[in-house]
Structure 1
Amino acid sequence: MARTILVVEDEVAIQTLLKRELEFENYQVELASTGPEALEIFRQMHQQLDLILLDWMIPEIDGLGVLRRIRKVDARLPIIFLTARDFSGDKVAGLNSGADDYITKPFDIEELLARIRVIFRHQDQLNEAPTNYQLGNLTLDTKAHQVAYNGDVMQLTQREYSLLLAFMQHANQTMTRDEILDDVWGTDFVGQTNIVDVYVRQLRQKLHALSASNVQIQSVRGIGYVLKEELQDDK
């Protein structure tokens, strides 16, 4: 069954290019030119959409506003930001608001298609072998695609979930940034390794916000990160 991608882009030339290239790859494509149009299509086709390509600079409600509204309803639908804004703070703002990836305009269409394939391939891998993982009171159920701490469900984006899954699969083992990139973004990822640090920071904040959480992502200087349970001393 063909996957459906919503393209949110107000530049006609780019919209036409994306539609043509995506349909050539056998994706079904829905188009929106403004923020309200994108949100309406999302409302009507929420269950049918597999991914959103979202431009930042769109009329009426910008891409960041659209992203934040969607994330209030669905934390897992993959969203790739398309932006001409090359300032790192803008990229971080997009990732912090729930984007799974970003690509800067002007972009290479083959790079974009590769990133889309990585996201879909990783989704398929997650669905192949349902397994439960547990560290302390933190549990991850791949069948339900759900993470909980002491029974309270955590709201994670698709990318945050994939990152936590990688850490849970390698609990108490130090993972390098390259290993994390391979596990979460795929071996053919094209981009900067500091994207790992951005998502680790987001995941840390969500773990820290949990009441009495003793599961932590620790930095290993010069190497990478490790997910560990910090045991409490009985006194």
Structure 2
Amino acid sequence: MKLLMIEDNKSVSEMMNMFFTKENWDAEFAYDGNEAIDKFKQSPDDWDIITLDLNLPGIDGMQVAQEIRKASQTVPIIMLTARDSESDQVLGLEMGADDYVTKPFSPMTLIARIKALHRRAELGEPTKTDENKEATSGFDVQTDHFRLNTKTREAYLLDKQIEGLTPKEFDLLYTLAKNPKQVFSREQLLELVWDYQYYGDERTVDAHIKKLRQKIEKVGPQIIQTVWGVGYKFDDSGVVAS
């Protein structure tokens, strides 16, 4: 794995580098926003994961996340923040982060989060059912109006591609779409999509649903429905082709 850690505290970077080395990861470091953007844009397709401190000198982490997302919609980003404010954490997710870890953090906690996010971002190993579906249709999920392919990480509504999906947004859409009309609670989605529990941090799901819906609405009607007091479901039965 090739990892870019954007962190202005060199002590934290040096500590984490020991853990990254133990995992045999190729880690590079940037200590301010401008350096981070320059380093990332030199080879945006080469990075497997980014860890991004929210509080950086010069250009802050929010702006860095935006610039990274302009260059790559798919590279996973874990935001590191000392802030406890819900609004800061939700804003970071809306700016393109896939996950966040609040400082101070345990190195092993960050390692576990990186592994979980990287595992989800990789092209998944399809189940036998998925393989059979793809053999016949080319897509893992296909309805009259919607198609999704986990190998190409592409989703289409009314034959128009839903563009700019981050790894977590794609996984969230896939989880809902492969179980149409099934209602998932936020807790269930945290376990299924994030691969670990967020200990009640349901706003993570809500922030990703909000961004996912915005991207869906650019190509067609809304297919992610809210079931008030319960959670969310995928339902394209009401879609009418123009």
Which of 194, 218, 225 is residue 209 of structure 1 equivalent to?
Answer: 218
Where 1:229 maps in the other structure, the secondary structure is coil
Gaps of 5+ in 2: none
Distance 1:196 1:219 in 2: 12
Distance 1:53 1:110 in 2: 14
Instruction: Please report how far the alpha carbon of residue 233 of structure 1 lies from its aligned counterpart in structure 2 after TM superposition.
Output: 7.8
Alignment of 1:63-212 (within 5 A): 63-124=61-122, 126-129=123-126, 131=134, 132=139, 133-153=141-161, 154-186=163-195, 188-191=196-199, 192-210=201-219
Instruction: Please report how far the alpha carbon of residue 224 of structure 1 lies from its aligned counterpart in structure 2 after TM superposition.
Output: 1.6
Residues 1:65 and 1:232: Cα distance change in structure 2 (over 3 Å)? closer
Q: TM-score, normalised by structure 2?
A: 0.87
Count of aligned residue pairs for this structure pair: 228
CA RMSD between the two structures: 2.0
Where 2:223 maps in the other structure, the secondary structure is strand
Where 1:147 maps in the other structure, the secondary structure is strand
Instruction: Please report how far the alpha carbon of residue 232 of structure 1 lies from its aligned counterpart in structure 2 after TM superposition.
Output: 5.8
Counterpart of 1:224 in structure 2 is 231
Gaps of 5+ in 1: none
Corresponding letter in the other structure for 2:71: V
Distance 1:106 1:136 in 2: 48
Residues 1:231 and 1:105: Cα distance change in structure 2 (over 3 Å)? same
Please tell me whether the aligned partners of residues 183 and 227 of structure 2 are also in contact (alpha carbons under 8 angstroms).
Answer: yes
Q: Percent identity?
A: 34
Please tell me whether the aligned partners of residues 44 and 71 of structure 2 are also in contact (alpha carbons under 8 angstroms).
Answer: no
Where 1:179 maps in the other structure, the secondary structure is helix
Where 2:182 maps in the other structure, the secondary structure is coil
Q: TM-score, normalised by structure 1?
A: 0.89
Instruction: Please report how far the alpha carbon of residue 226 of structure 1 lies from its aligned counterpart in structure 2 after TM superposition.
Output: 0.9
Residues 1:232 and 1:60: Cα distance change in structure 2 (over 3 Å)? closer
